[in-house]
Structure 1
Amino acid sequence: MHSTTRGFVNDLEKFKKKFPFPFKSRDEKDDFLSSYKNTIEEIQSFCETEFDWFKSDQMKSTFEKIYNLTYRVIQSKLNGDDENAFLLFNILLIRYSNPNNTKKRTEDEVSKGSDLSFDRYSSLDPKDFFRIRRAEWIGDKLRPYEKDDLFHIRYHDRRKCKNYRFSISEIPALYLGESIEICEHEVFNGGDLSKYYISQFISRELLNVITIDFPDLIIWDLKHGGFNETALRFFAYLPFSSACLFKTAPPHNHPFNPEYVIPQMLMSFIEKNTKLDGVRYPSTKFIYDGKTKPVLNYAFPVKDPDDKDGFCRNLTKIFNWTEPVISEIDYVKMKNDLSESVGKIEMSYDLKRWRDEFRFRGK
């Protein structure tokens, strides 16, 4: 194992150069399993050759077990054996996840071994999110959006929900991004930007999310005080995280995309899990430059819809958000308008006390 964080950063840079993000599937949509298998086996061979620490019993064992289970989940799903696919997926997530583990281990504890479990994420960083929606024209006028229009699709309109990467047909979810720019890329997907409405969201409660990591994020974290355990966990769980981040094969309009098997099953798992709120993941459309802190996407499935308004009780408890603002060329003005509104949103008493205690311990 590396004795310095710099060593892990160098290894991640080397890995990123060999395997640029995002992963890409072959042109034949039915060959995704082969693409996935070849990619993971190439990654394992590369890491075992380049990184001595990767060959440790714990790292290699975890990597291979995660790979075996993930592969069998995809294989079962593509063969139409949904029952076995969900059984294997639950084994994968329950056996290797520990979302309630909030203890940060010291470097000495990390060097003696780690359970390499999925990490827990809290609302402390970041606390601000954004959501945008394309503007709709009624004749020659824009349809005015109200605050509720920027929340998730109401449960009684769930038939509008389609199958996408982290989206399941007829299961509404709230999709947020850490910046306006990443929201634009997700909504317009490389096309010409047009008018849109935007709201700024703030978390009022702690969040538990599964994190899907990628090299740029780990490098940033290590350079800014993160533990080496972060890099170890990233490599151990590559067979799972990479299965969530394959770009779809051209022409990208298939009724069923095999690249979406694992992320959709993850959303289904989170929807049924009372201890998890959502998933945090990088964009396969946004260009990460490596010079600034990577911004990420979030997906929070609806779990407890209110019979009256169709909104999730859990998500309305966690989040508050501003009245929508129409998009402006002047980003500074738009962000200032949102900040003025978000400043009026108050945190819950428990979260405010928790943050005050955190800041006091950090002094």
Structure 2
Amino acid sequence: MASPTIEQVTAALATVNDPEIRRPITELDMIKGVDVSAEGSVTVGVFLTVAGCPMRDTITRDVTAAVSKLPGVAGVQVDLDVMSEEQRQALQTKLRGGQAAKEIPFAKPNSLTRVYAVASGKGGVGKSSVTVNLAAAMAAQGRKVGVVDADIYGHSIPRMLGVTGRPTQVEQMIMPPNAHGVKVISIGMFTEGNSPVVWRGPMLHRALQQFLADVYWGDLDVLLMDLPPGTGDIAISVAQLLPSAEILVVTTPQQAAAEVAERAGAISAQTHQTVAGVIENMSYLPCPHCGEPVDVFGSGGGQTVADALTRTLGTSVPLLGQVPIDVRLREGGDEGNPIVLDAPDAPASKELRSIADKISGRAKSLRGRQLGLSPNRG
């Protein structure tokens, strides 16, 4: 059998995606060269973005598998090299669509990514659990999803999503780790052990700006931002950096919690953001004997917040869903296995998927976008 041609090998390599950037390695100029011997032995030279690339074994395996499928291949050898500084800068510019300057892609008027800032008035209402499960649910539906752990002091998203890898840096661009089909970035990926982050306002703003501008998110359908509780520096920075971000308010049924949650949503009246809706977490506990709901934390808090924000903002703010208490929701967060994936038939999973459907199916506003229309002069 005749040996494959270089063109055939190159075509096979075009089916191999970089595991972090998720684009073909041929498109990213990662192929150093291809050599095919008369006996059918194929040698492929591959440029890694950085010397300590954590995905080097994955790339070697995928390249070998893709080329080995070609008829006439007797063996495959992958030679790894490292990009020069000029090559990395060229790659960085290519990934930014030809723009060398840093910018927040989600803040551009023509961005089609829906951005949701998940907020709460106080801690302990399950805001991070809701964020993680909404992200996992939407990713399982085939949507491209990213999560920014903007709770700098109380970061917990990596553990709850089961992220174990660290970001890879290509020049000044950061490649975020991926878990359950969700791209994730958190300050916890840059600190040693469980070290606390002791920062004030300007440093918090800068960290959030870097998460949005320096991270290569690709073409996302939805970006979720897990905000810290309250209406402090990060909430203000989000309004400044991403004025089009919509707010999802998480509360519990308890009236005391609802009053605090209302303040977290009411900040939108000052920042001119939209409140997409209210999510009531820990709504009830299904009785283990009769199945009837037990109102452990009271009832009606979510609807109270939705009604109050509707009056305050002068626009309809819906109650998007009521998530029941389920010990598997907590266990999934501790183990890095979101309940929507680990126990899809659980009542909590069904309610979270319903909420995910509602927010991911919302039409993107055309306000502020260029429509490309011109007057008819005929």
With structure 1 as the length reference, what TM-score do the two structures score?
0.29
Q: Which has the higher helix share?
A: 1
Highest CA radius of gyration, 1 or 2? 2
Structure showing greater relative contact order (alpha-carbon pairs closer than 8 Å, 6 or more residues apart): 1
With structure 2 as the length reference, what TM-score do the two structures score?
0.29
